[in-house]
Amino acid sequence: MATYANIDAFVTKHLLLDLTADFDAKTLRGTAELQFERRDPRATEMVLDTRDLQIWRVESAPPGGAWSDTTFRLDPATPAFGSALRVAVPAGADRIRVTYSSSPAARGLQWLTPAQTAGKKHPFLFSQAQAIHARSFITLQDTPGVRLTYDATVRVPKELVAVMAAEARPGEVGSGVFQFHMPQPIPSYLIALAVGDLTFTPMSERTGVWTEPAMAAAAAREFEDTEKMMKATEALYGPYRWGRYDLLVLPPSFPYGGMENPRVTFATPTVIVGDKSLVALVAHELAHSWSGNLVTNATWTDFWLNEGFTTYLERRIVEVVYGRRLADMERIIGLRDLAQARKDATVAGDRTLLPALSGRDPDDAYSVVPYEQGALFLSFLESKFGRGAFDRFLRRWFDEHEFQSVTTAQFLEFLSKHLLSTKPGVVTDAQIQEWLHSEEVPGSAVMPQSDALEKVEQARDTWLSGGSMDALAKTASAWSTQEWVHFIDSLPRTMDTGKLAAMDQRLKLTDSPNPEIAHVWFRLAIANRYRAAFPAMERYMIAIGRRKLIVPLYRDLAATPDGKKLAAQIYAKAREGYHPVAQGTLDAMLK
């Protein structure tokens, strides 16, 4: 279950945080008050999750009563889950308060120096709690099976702004004190904080974007369709329940594409490419406001209930706002990513929709399999029952489970009752079991097709069999990011150096400002030992910390002895700028 919390005995209902961000010491310190409900009247000890925290004091209090010190013990840490904090809870107490501080190496936080930001003047801090990193900066019951509301006071240097994934209470600008309130019950992995030189640019009544000042205009332009996406999603799946929907653009070291923190998605700057071709990321994070944040996987094995649903929803939103052509390209690219993830998996169960996580840090099993296999599963169901009926079914699923944490078994029961039974025999139990447990895409899948990507393949074949560079360049001038990525990714891994150099010179690939295009180009360059691209690749790997964009480059390099040497040299320079999560992945790979 990836938690030490004894939620059979106590369950947290509300959290009160009072934290100070100390950039010199790289620590968050202060108090976390947990107001809980007793489930077992005889229980005398509450167990909380922590990782690398210093615990200074623990107090307890009865309803409305005074605080008094209580005893506690911190168990030895395990690599997968950290340390259990065991707190003695007197009879009658309904709250405890822990005074603590986080470690400078807290896995859920990244402390950036001014040099690592766009503005270069102020430091930056951001949190990333999913899957089980909230425990590295808050003492709590760190499991998606528990939902809580919270209030927070965050104290920061006066020139900086704090943003949490919650409602901001009006405060005094420049006071260095920010207050937040989260009225909807959320799982702990959705608690989020960012502190930096942040400015807000509104995009509509209820959407806007937080960025460093230098990026404000470009970000607001790239994401201007966010309101349209919200309307499209509401029309399909019911009202948006979280008030505002803002985006917060992080520095490039953010290890993920996006994180669906409620009310304010945290996003990588690597999707700001000028032509909105990568805003499916916003559709994805927005979709989590239904699948994930509203209806939440109860355990990390049920992760596909978050990500498979969201990937399916994302492409439906893209279809409404940008058209079928882009959605289908995304589906094809997803299918290819799925095949690659299955190849890369070292544990067989990780190739299925339901990875076995017992004793493992959920991050170790992380892959796109739950995303893409899950989305294909839902597309299969859609094809069998019709889009209208399936949309109504999904909306009902969200409505009837709002603000609840759910298991795969609950979904299957709901599916059987409200969809399968409407047309008995159309989908068999054996088919459902195959979708859940197969290490491959089941034969019953509806495979996506994309004319646009087929045309890219034709252009590729024409050029490879002697067609002119001019003709290729002319066709390519109209390509979106997806078409470029497909073209480069589908070129043979062994090519004539002259042909690569000619292509590079004409299509400006080594110098591409688009991080997705540069990524696939560098992989082709590594495969061909096309060294002219390596200096730019090194700069890219130092500047960007998004795992999806850098980890495959390190892996490709590490496959040969000289490549491994180069990977180690680059990593020595880049490591300090990476997030602890990316450092963990790469330390293991390059050791």
Q: Which residues does the annotation mark as catalytic?
A: 285, 371
DSSP assignment, residue 82? B
Q: How far is the CB of 556 from Zn ion (least distance, A)?
A: 25
Residues 405-464 that bind Zn ion (CB under 5 A): none
Nearer to Zn ion, 309 or 540 (CB): 309
Q: How far is the CB of 366 from Zn ion (least distance, A)?
A: 11
Q: How far is the CB of 263 from Zn ion (least distance, A)?
A: 16
What is the pattern of x (binds Zn ion, CB under 5 A) and - over residues 46-85? ----------------------------------------
Q: What burial class does residue 170 get, using C-beta atoms within 10 Å of its C-beta: 0-12 exposed, 13-18 middle, 19+ buried?
A: exposed
Q: How far is the CB of 288 from Zn ion (least distance, A)?
A: 6
Nearer to Zn ion, 268 or 310 (CB): 310
Q: How far is the CB of 380 from Zn ion (least distance, A)?
A: 20
The footprint of Zn ion on this chain (CB under 5 A) covers a number of residues equal to 2
Nearer to Zn ion, 307 or 382 (CB): 307
Question: How far are the Cα atoms of 329, 331, 334, 500 from residue 311, in angstroms, in the given order?
Answer: 13, 9, 9, 35
Q: Kindly state the helix (H) or strand (E) to which residue 431 belongs, with its residue range.
A: helix 429-437
404 φ, ψ to 5°? -125, 155
CB of 119 closer than 8 Å to CB of 197: yes
Query: Where do the DSSP E strands lie in 23-141?
Result: 27-38, 45-50, 54-61, 68-69, 72-74, 83-88, 95-101, 109-112, 124-127
Question: How far are the Cα atoms of 292, 379, 380, 449, 587 from residue 446, in angstroms, in the given order?
Answer: 24, 7, 6, 9, 39
Nearer to Zn ion, 142 or 285 (CB): 285
Nearer to Zn ion, 232 or 305 (CB): 305
Nearer to Zn ion, 237 or 487 (CB): 237
Q: How far is the CB of 292 from Zn ion (least distance, A)?
A: 7
DSSP assignment, residue 53? P
Closest to 301 (Cα-Cα) out of 399, 477, 436:
436
Q: How far is the CB of 310 from Zn ion (least distance, A)?
A: 5
What is the pattern of x (binds Zn ion, CB under 5 A) and - over residues 268-307? ---------------------------------------x
Contacts of 559 (CB under 8 A, 6+ apart): none
Name 44's bridge partners.
Answer: none
Half-sphere exposure of 187 (CA within 13 A, CB side): 29
Nearer to Zn ion, 100 or 290 (CB): 290
Name 109's bridge partners.
Answer: 127
Strand 72-74 relative to strand 124-127: parallel, antiparallel, unpaired?
unpaired
Residues 299-358 that bind Zn ion (CB under 5 A): 307, 310
Sheet of 207-211, strands arranged across: 199-202, 207-211, 245-249, 264-267, 258-259
Distance CA 210, CA 129 (A): 19
| Dihedral angle, C-alpha 523, 527, 531, 534, nearest 10 ° | 20
Question: How far are the Cα atoms of 277, 415, 450, 491, 545 from residue 480, in angstroms, in the given order?
Answer: 6, 37, 14, 17, 24
Nearer to Zn ion, 117 or 293 (CB): 293
Distance CA 34, CA 57 (A): 14
583 three-class SS: helix
Q: How far is the CB of 358 from Zn ion (least distance, A)?
A: 23
Q: How far is the CB of 47 from Zn ion (least distance, A)?
A: 29
Residue 290 is encoded by which pair of tokens?
Answer: 């239904």
Nearer to Zn ion, 310 or 450 (CB): 310
454 three-class SS: helix
**List of residues contacting Zn ion (CB under 5 A):** 307, 310
